[in-house]
Amino acid sequence: MIADPQKFLQDLIWGDKLAMAGLPGRILAVVLRYVFAMVRDFFSGQLTMRAMSLVYTTLLSIVPLLAFSFAILKGFGVFKELEPYLANLLAPLGPQGEQITIQVLELVDNVKGSVLGGIGLAFFLWTAISTVQKVEESFNYTWYVTKPRSFSKRFTEYLIVLLVGPLLMVTAIGMLTSIQSNTVVQWILTNKALGPVFVLIGKLVPYLLISGVFTFLYVFMPNTKVNLKSALVGGIAGGFMWATVGAIFTSFILYASRTLQVYAGFAVVITTLIWLYLNWLILLIGAQLAFYHQCPAFLRTGRQEPRLSNAMRERITLNVMFLVGQAFRKPGDTVTVKNITQKIGIPSIALYPIIYALEEAGLLQATENEELLPGREMSRTKLGDILNVVRDVGETGSHRNPNWSAIVSSLGGDLDSAVSNVVGDRTLADLLDEHEKQNVTRKD
């Protein structure tokens, strides 16, 4: 009998027992760590809550978003070719999916050019951009990014997605149509040996397209740099989950058809809401998986912010400003939060609160490309001001003037004086000069 199952599981997943079993053991350890992290995040409730929030946003924006995107497709003359792909996307809804497909196509087909003119076009754009913004916020959450894109950058990039997305769909539909009408392809389809294989590949195309869309979103949407390999891992896993959940959901709809008859006309609404929720949840789970693949150091801790002592926070603050000043002095050199994380070995989730405090104090500023720069002339940036960011700024006590004991107040004053005497009037520029002199001395 295992005395402490939880401790045994922790040791099994994060210990070296499985790694000592050779390659199969190491692979099993990695798989168990990812499963542990994903299950933990799922039951924390944040992913499910954000998926439900996106369902609500989708219901508000689905009409103008589809009308805007499909109107572009309609202009390219490929609107009618969308029906089988849209029907396949909504296939898990069963008969309700066919009904929704017809209604959506009729809705878009009835959109007139006058609807997209003037105020109507502005409303459509605002709704569509608001939807994409909500998706970006959810992706930023999975990637531990707390700073969104600037308004100008967000508007430009979102508009490009709304315009380029339909164009890519046109290209994909055109390629699929030309391939299907090719003489060689028709011969393969009639071949007894190759025909079934080609048909199977054709059935996999929609899932590959879904995986491709997921991968694109994982690369583009978060306001941080995402490796293509990590995004591809999340995209393939998301596409597989989407196909699996779709098949299960279809079976559920068929099994619960009698129960859904009780809801009459509301059955379409209920099944659509559930299917939308599952789609958004799968998308976010894939994003979380892509993040862990790129940043495996977070597998064990998750969103738990490291607990730092005051001494550690002071050293981090000084080190951040030192690295920023050092990069600023070197022509063509830049530094980001990711660079600082790699250099000092502190997770970004612990760095961001300190960096934001430095920005609020005017000692640091960040560009749209996430590059960090000194907030003012380094010769006027005193080390005491940098330390005050973590020593004094940000106090949230309920009493502005606490009644300290006399002996404690005296001791606290001595500590403050000691810190002040150590740093004196030294500035960030002085610290950098001292570092450069030390390097010259070592070389000599």
- Judge whether residue 286 has pLDDT over 90: yes
Q: 207-223 pLDDT, tens per residue? A: 777 888 889 889 888 88
Q: Is the dihedral of CA 151, 153, 155, 161 positive or negative?
A: negative
Per-residue pLDDT tens over the stretch 294-309: 888 788 877 766 677 7
Q: Residue 310 is which amino acid?
A: N
CA dist list (Å): 137 to 43, 144, 279, 322: 20, 10, 17, 31
Global confidence as pTM: 0.69
114 within domain boundaries? yes
Q: Is residue 230 part of a domain?
A: yes
Residue 67 inside a domain? The answer is: yes
- What is the residue whose two structure tokens read 């998301």? 238
Domain containing residue 416:
310-394+407-443
Which of 4, 17, 37 is CA-nearest to residue 285? 37
For residues 86 and 189, state if they share a domain.
yes
Of 319 and 275, the structure prediction assigns the larger pLDDT to: 319
Q: Is residue 384 pLDDT above 80, yes or no?
A: yes
Is 401 part of a structural domain of the chain? no
Question: Are 318 and 428 members of one domain?
Answer: yes
Other beta carbons less than 10 A from residue 187's beta carbon: 11
CATH code of residue 349: 1.10.10.10
Q: Are residues 29 and 54 in the same domain?
A: no
- Tens digit of pLDDT for each residue in 313-356? 889 999 999 999 999 998 888 898 888 887 887 777 778 888 88
Same domain, 131 and 33: no
Looking at the structure, tell me whether residues 247 and 178 fall in a common domain.
Answer: yes
pLDDT tens for 65-111 read 666 666 666 666 655 656 666 666 666 666 666 776 677 667 666 65
137 and 238 belong to one structural domain: yes
In the predicted model, is pLDDT for residue 180 greater than 60? no
Q: Could you give the CA distance from residue 86 to residue 96 in angstroms, rounded to a whole number?
A: 13
Residue 305 lies in a domain: no
| Same domain as 321, residue 189 | no
- In this structure, the number of other CB atoms found within 10 A of the CB of residue 145 comes to 20
In this structure, the answer to whether residues 233 and 356 fall within a common structural domain is: no
SS3 state at 363 = coil
Contact 165, 159 (CB under 8 A): no
Contact yes or no for 68/113 (Cβ under 8 A): no
Residue ending a domain, among 298, 319, 351, is 298
**Share above pLDDT 90 across residues of the chain, in percent, rounded to a whole number:** 11
Please report, for residues 131, 256, 286, the alpha-carbon distance to residue 51 in angstroms, rounded to integers and kept in the order given: 13, 24, 12
Same domain flag for 204 and 345: no
Q: With 0-12 CB in 10 A as exposed, 13-18 as middle and 19+ as buried, what is 397?
A: exposed
Listed range (41-50, 61-70, 141-150, 176-185) with the worst mean pLDDT: 176-185
Q: How many residues are listed for the chain in this entry?
A: 444
CA separation for the pair 118, 97 (Å, rounded): 33
Judgement on whether residues 133 and 254 belong to the same structural domain of the protein: yes
Quote the CA–CA distance of 98 and 90 in Å, as a whole number.
7
Separation of alpha carbons 89 and 207, rounded Å: 10
Total number of domains in the chain? 3
Asked if residue 104 and residue 36 are part of one domain, the reply reads: no
Contact 65, 128 (CB under 8 A): yes
DSSP 427: B
Rounded to whole angstroms, the Cα distance separating 239 from 236 reads 5
**pLDDT tens readout for residues 137-169:** 888 888 877 777 776 777 676 666 666 665 555
H or E stretch covering 230: helix 228-255
Q: Tell me the mean pLDDT in the region 281-289.
A: 93
**68 near 52, Cβ under 8 Å?**
no
- Write out the two tokens for 351: 């760095």
Gyration radius (Cα) of the chain, Å: 28
- 222 and 143 in a common domain: yes
Compute the distance between CA of residue 312 and CA of residue 318 in angstroms, rounded to an integer: 10
Q: What angle do CA 21, 23, 26 make, to 5 degrees?
A: 75
**How many C-beta atoms lie closer than 10 Å to residue 416's C-beta?**
12
